[in-house]
Structure 1
Amino acid sequence: MPHPIINLDQLALQDLPPQYAATGPAAERFAPRMAMIGELIGMRALGCNLTVLAPGKRAFPFHNHRVNEEVFIVVEGCGTIRIGAASYPLRQGDIVACPAGGQETAHQIINTGEVELRYLALSTNKSPEVVEFPDSGKYATLLLDAGGGANTLPQRTVGHIGQSVDYWEGE
């Protein structure tokens, strides 16, 4: 069992792995640096990370989870969170609930401040997961590893909502 305690100042921030990092024009808007915490301290059913955003950046596209819940705790800085059709200001000490659900629960954090925005993201790690992206009309299905590891996604499929292959194709 790993040591169950770690301090935020002990974490090493990293860019997203190349297979998940934004490319092209999206790279101008999406540039999170993250430290995965959950696995370091032995969590199995909960994911936890520290996410750091430079001014003007977002971590991920506007999205909702059909299976997993998330909570965000702002550690430092300020920004805005979009939830459904509304936007709310964020500041140090704020705690934000993002339950599983439809597009009314879609969320996205944006650093609208002038300094880095740092927040803890905690989530359940249920698998399989379905994520929708209302701004782009896409969806993703994810199969997490047995421990719910966020760093290892053995299966990820991304497509456009309403487009699929026939069930019997290739049979």
Structure 2
Amino acid sequence: MTDTVKSTVNIGELKLDHWQQGEFYEGRDVSFGALLGLKDLGISYNEVPPGKSGCPFHNHHVEEELFFIASGEGEYRIGEARIPVKKGDVLGAPAGGPETAHQLINTGTAPLLYLAISTKAKTEIVEYPDSGKFLAKTNRAGDAKAGFRFIGRDNTALDYWDGERGA
């Protein structure tokens, strides 16, 4: 083991990053799977203020996610359902199409605290049904800047031969 890889992590000792996007999205979070030496499993600790969400409604085509509610209460959007959640609940988000799209929203009066655990695919497609976007990305272990990442919409699709020499 190197100095940066640990066998245990105390969430209370990790530095959380605070971010905000518009009026609805805000959180404090930290990813720490790599600190535990995990290469194919992503883990993050998340704190979402009342009335906010930590991410847009989305579905993964390859990766699976699991959420453990540590404190607070909220609403879990999954597919067309809206399910109340509270401390102790464990939520699954399997890979699939829009029927597996998911989002946690804090509907309580205190911060919503949860762990998010996910598989980490080398290649992934993510759809955002509310906005009609998609994300195509590749992940390369150990190098966050390597790989490919593109967010777009289907209406910008090109013909396979578009721009090719002699086509």
TM-score (norm 2): 0.90
Aligned 8 A contact 1:142 1:153 in 2: no
Which of 17, 20, 45 is 1:14 aligned to? Answer: 17
The match for 1:94 among 67, 89, 92 is 89
1:155 to 144, 148, 151: 148
Whether 1:136 aligns to 2:120 is no
Higher strand share: 2
Q: Decide which of 54, 59, 78 is 1:59's aligned counterpart.
A: 54
- Residue 112 of structure 1 is matched in structure 2 by 107
In structure 2, the partner of 1:165 is: 158
Give me the whole-angstrom Cα distance separating, in 2, the residues matched to 1:104 and 1:33.
28
What CA distance in whole angstroms lies between the structure 2 residues aligned with 1:134 and 1:152?
Answer: 27
Pick from 77, 80, 83 the counterpart of residue 85 of structure 1: 80
The 1-side partners of 2:52 and 2:150 are apart by: 25
Distance 2:107 2:72 in 1: 9
Number of residue pairs matched by the alignment: 161
Following superposition, which runs of at least 4 residues in structure 1 exceed 3 angstroms of deviation?
151-154
Q: For residues 86 and 170 of structure 1, what CA distance do their matches in structure 2 show?
A: 43
Give the whole-Å Cα distance in 2 for the aligned partners of 1:52 and 1:153: 29
Q: Which one-letter code corresponds to 1:11 in the other structure?
A: L
The partner residue of 2:6 within 3, 8, 25 is 3
Asked whether 1:42 is paired with 2:42, we answer no
The CA deviation at 1:63 is 0.4
Structure 1: which 5+ residue stretches go unaligned? none
CA distance in 2, matches of 1:116, 1:83: 21
Greater Rg, structure 1 or structure 2?
A: 2
- What are the ranges of 5 or more consecutive residues in structure 2 without an aligned counterpart? none
For residue 129 of structure 1, give the secondary structure of its aligned residue in structure 2: strand
- The amino acid across from 1:106 in the alignment is A
Q: How far apart are the structure 2 equivalents of 1:15 and 1:126?
A: 26
Offset, 1:162:
4.3
Give TM-score, length-normalised by structure 1: 0.88
How far did residue 82 of structure 1 move? 0.2
Contact 1:144 1:152 in 2 (8 A): no
Aligned-pair CA distance for 1:152? 5.0
